[in-house]
Amino acid sequence: MHPETTRITLPPPQMIRSHRPRAPRWIWIALILFSLVLGTGAGWYFGMRQADPTPEESGTGAADQSAAVKVTEARLAVSSGDWVTARRLFEEARDLDPDNPDALASLPLIRQRLDEARGTVTVTTDPAGAIVKLGAFKEQTSPATFTGVTLGEHELVAILPGFDTVTRRVLIESEEPKRIDDIVLAKSSGQLEVVSEPQGADFKLIRTRERVAQELVRTGTTPARIERLDPGEYQVLMAFEGWPEQSQIVRVENNRNTSVSAVFAKGGLNITSDPAGAEVWIQAAESALRKAGKTPLSLADLPVGKHRLELRHGDWAAISRSVEVSGGSTQDLEFSWERALVSFTSDPPGAEVYLGNKPLGRAQQKTPFQVELPEGDYVFSARHSKLDPVTFSAYIDGDTGSSAVDFRFAYGSVSLASDPAGAAVASGGMPMGRTPLTLAVVPPGNYTFELSKEQHRAASVSGSVEAGGSLNFTATLTYDSTPVVSRDFKNSLGQQLAWIAPLNGWAGAYEVTQEEYERLSGTNPSYFKAPKHPVDSVTWYEAVKFCEALTVQERSLGTLPEGYRYRLPTDEEWGRLVGGQKLDAAISSLFDRQKSSAPVGSLAANEYGLYDIRGNVWEWVNDWYSQTILNRVQKEGSTATAEWVGTDRKVLRGGAWNRSSEFDLAVANRMAARPSAEDRYDVGFRVVLMRD
């Protein structure tokens, strides 16, 4: 900070330029301790220059003492190399005492050190061999070692088939190697429900392998729910007094519920299906067909004799079977649909597929998608917006396990370009977009497209689109050289220009953004990288060069009104542009502390339609800080800096995001800086379009 020249608080240059080799830890400690000595000396020096404190200022003594305690603790953290703690303590000291020289001198160095710091993390799991993921690093198999890990919190995930996944947050606080060896993976398991009708049947659960008994797992009475069973094959034996024992083989799978049931009645059926959940309809003798439930299903006390069973599953063809129910026994019936997984695709994608009049897929899914269908002959139809429907006949073979259906629509494409670009495209009165424009899916037929652009004569192009073909149109729009005053417009760079009647010209509605600056100049000097934020850290010379390049580009495209050019506003013009904008519509730290600039246009515009004319970033103007500027500042009721007069300093207006005093943010206040000054993360500019 140079009090005699400027009030702009800037980070040290090394914070802006990050492309330098990493220094050893002892150098960083020495550098930060040295900055603390300098900060302490500066605080003593400027403190000696202050007048006796007022009663209000003396009230800040407690905060200063608390800040001093934080600084002392931070020094110890720096000496021990605990950069995370040091940063927190210095930030707390700065919050207590915003002008604390130790915190202001050390924080930028500590932050850069943290940006460069990397740690090493070694992860072991029990059992070993798990897939370990740490943040965005490439996954490894445990034991795993990750190097180059940034300090901070990361997500750690351990995955092993047959075991529950473990997820936790890991905090890396230093460059010292960190070991994580307490990850124990719990084995996955399944559940089995054993039920009977009536309840109270004795059961045995036996582990088997290929239907050969291995060991007795559990005994009990129904109903029973057996949890945390190892996956595999089991035999369930159930017996009820006076009835023969029943046996069933079941397979328990990871994280799934399996059920087994038995009916001890005069006549019954145990019905299962693949897939489960099928509706069971039953008809006895001359009675009507009735719905009995869904599989798996146990039916007890059925009349002896023939029964007709019908299983239904969605739109699939029903399975019918006749069954003889015998007294004193329960039959096990299994039903299975031979089916395949059908993949539906289309060109172009995004089609709805129908079987008859009913859409396939979940919630009218669009291609590509997959659906499981039973074996059989099918006729599918596909519908795509604005394209003629397509049908496809296929036989789905259940033995293959999978099948594919691909729909080919008749369509073409159209590409439209204009000189200059950005023309609005319409067809039949319907807006289509702006050039350059590609319509990838166009039904065959004859088309006419109208192209229009503000201050240009409209043009139209026509042609016939054939299936599989492509039309490419390029239209040259003639520029209407007559300036359209009192009307806003957009230039070829996409900048919104607002008409300013008192100045008989235009001003950029927004401060020049980073994406606009980079599109024209090919570089982005900003400290806070974000396309929609104002460009910052730009010198006065670079801002002038941008205006000149924009003038040349617009003139070459024929979009520049005759006699006008782009430039920086003068100090007097800027005083008109600010209008009546209040501080509540300015990005600043007056009400809430800001951490960076904000996207342009985040708050309301002033009466001219200009955004961020106050706050966000300081704006370069064309004037030197001269005696005229000094007189103007004093006349407008602000405090001028006489020693800047006659120096090589350009004027800055409007305040910035990091300003927290009403003096800095006052309309009449002028800041000054050398035109070659760079790395100013709170300085940008806006353009005006005025007559030469």
What tens digit of pLDDT does each residue of 271-287 get? 888 778 888 988 876 67
Above 50 in pLDDT, residue 45? Answer: no
For residue 524, the model assigns a pLDDT of 96
Q: Is it the case that residue 14 has pLDDT exceeding 50?
A: no
d(CA 342, CA 394): 10
The superfamily in CATH containing domain 489-691 is paralog of FGE (formylglycine-generating enzyme) (3.90.1580.10)
**Mean pLDDT, range 356-370, rounded to an integer:** 82
For residue 195, pLDDT beyond 90: yes
118-184 CATH choice from 3.30.9.10, 2.60.40.1120, 2.40.240.20, 3.30.2350.10: 2.60.40.1120
- The pLDDT confidence band at residue 2, using thresholds 50, 70 and 90, is very low
Are 692 and 564 in contact, with CB atoms under 8 Å apart?
A: yes
Q: What is the mean pLDDT of the chain?
A: 84
Enter the pTM of the model: 0.37
Measured CA angle at 397 (ends 395, 402), to 5 deg = 110
Decide if pLDDT at 555 tops 80: yes
Short-list 56, 63, 114, 58, CA closest to 93: 63
| pLDDT category of residue 18 using cuts at 50, 70 and 90 | very low
Please report the pLDDT score of residue 264 as a whole number.
64
CATH says 412-476 is which class?
Answer: mainly beta
Q: Which residue has the tokens 């319907």?
A: 430
Q: Is the pLDDT of residue 262 over 90?
A: no
- Of the chain, the end-to-end C-alpha distance in Å amounts to 38
What's residue 49's pLDDT?
40
> Binning pLDDT at 50, 70 and 90, where does residue 496 land?
very high
Q: Identify the CATH number of the domain defined by range 339-406.
A: 2.60.40
Is residue 343 within 8 Å of residue 402, measured between CB atoms? Answer: yes
Average confidence (pLDDT) over 483-494: 82
* Distance in angstroms (rounded) separating the CA atoms of residues 601 and 585: 10
> Which part of the chain is CATH 2.60.40.1120?
118-184
